[in-house]
Amino acid sequence: MKVCIYGAGAIGGFIGARLAAAGQAEVSAVARGATLAALREHGWRLREGGSLRQAKLARAGAPAEVGPQDVVVVAVKGTALADVATSMAPLLAPHTIVLPAMNGVPWWFLQSMPQIGDAPLESVDPGGRIAAGLPLSHVVGCVVHASTWTSEPGLVEHRNGNGLIVGEPRGGASARVDELAALLRAAGFEARASDRIRHDIWYKLWGNMTVNPVSALTGATVDRIMADPLVVAFCTRAMLEAGEVGARIGCAIDQRPDDRHAITRSLGRFRTSMQQDVEAERPIELDALVTVVREIGQRVGVATPNIDTLLGLTRLFGRVRGLYPEA
């Protein structure tokens, strides 16, 4: 099987290194700059449990240099996805699976829900550019439960978590999803096929749509956020709003916010991806985590005053620092 990782950063490099080391796939990368140079010199590199794992890189470069694939794992920042989608054609054969291993609500989330209004989600796919470049027939949904970072270009550090959930965007089971989940399990992931991947995406979002922007605003690690009762109370109110939005779109959550807070506390001290982006002066992925919840809420008639407050504050924070586009 031919697998390409488009975006060989913390998550993409993690998945690519694991797959390449397992030896059941020929794993290539679309990368550039220092990451491309490091991959070409060292191959895939992953440090976990104190050990450094290296694996052969099939090829790397631009999409035209890599060629058609069986699976393309897209692991870029949401802010870059529109440009990526327009460049992916050389990687796509009629059977190619596109697996977006990314944060937040994806561009295709409402495409199979015409009763809600399947017009493009402007917060994550302005003008429908991504949907035009990546037809839904190629897509398999994905949720990543892992904490990783890059200590230098091309070198991924794995902190914890091995979970990958994959599923058909329209729901239900399929042979291609079962085959993909088996490939990922063979590479050491706790991978499972889901027949309701939209719910799995919304559940993860429900937990990180608050702590990510709060950590970006405050610079606090998650353990400190969870230790402040006033901040936790605010997060709870925002989560209740997101829970109501989810219930309106078939993604009802059968937990209370306190239940999810307990899970978050159990993870201990860590820096969210948005906090890491702020510290590295990279654009923040606010739209796929927060703006989109407000947009869907407006479509289904759910008021989101606490989410609106969180969005407004974080958006202003990002604009002042040049990490989020001006209006």
Residues 6+ apart with CB under 8 A from 83: none
For every residue of 50-104, which 3-state class applies, written as one string? Answer: CEEEEECCCCEECHHHHCCEEEEEECCCHHHHHHHHCCCHHHEEEEEEEEECCCC
Alpha-carbon distance of 254 to 236, in angstroms, equals 15
Nearest partner of 86 among 74, 69, 103, judged by Cα: 74
205-230: burial string, b at 16+ Cβ within 10 Å, e else = bbbbbbbbbbbbbeebbbeebbeeee
- Centroid of chain to Cα 241: 22
Nearest partner of 13 among 154, 141, 121, 129, judged by Cα: 154
Active site residue 204: yes
Answer for the pair 158, 142: CB distance below 8 angstroms, yes or no.
Answer: no
Nearest partner of 144 among 15, 295, 251, 245, judged by Cα: 15
Nearest partner of 161 among 278, 20, 11, 22, judged by Cα: 11
DSSP 222-248: HHHHHT-HHHHHHHHHHHHHHHHHHHH
User: Which residue among the candidates 2, 56, 77, 204 is catalytic per the annotation?
Assistant: 204
Q: What is the CA radius of gyration of the chain?
A: 19
Alpha-carbon distance of 144 to 161, in angstroms, equals 9
Classify 233 in phi/psi space as left (phi over 0), alpha (psi -120 to 50) or beta. Answer: alpha
- Which residues participate in catalysis according to the annotation? 204
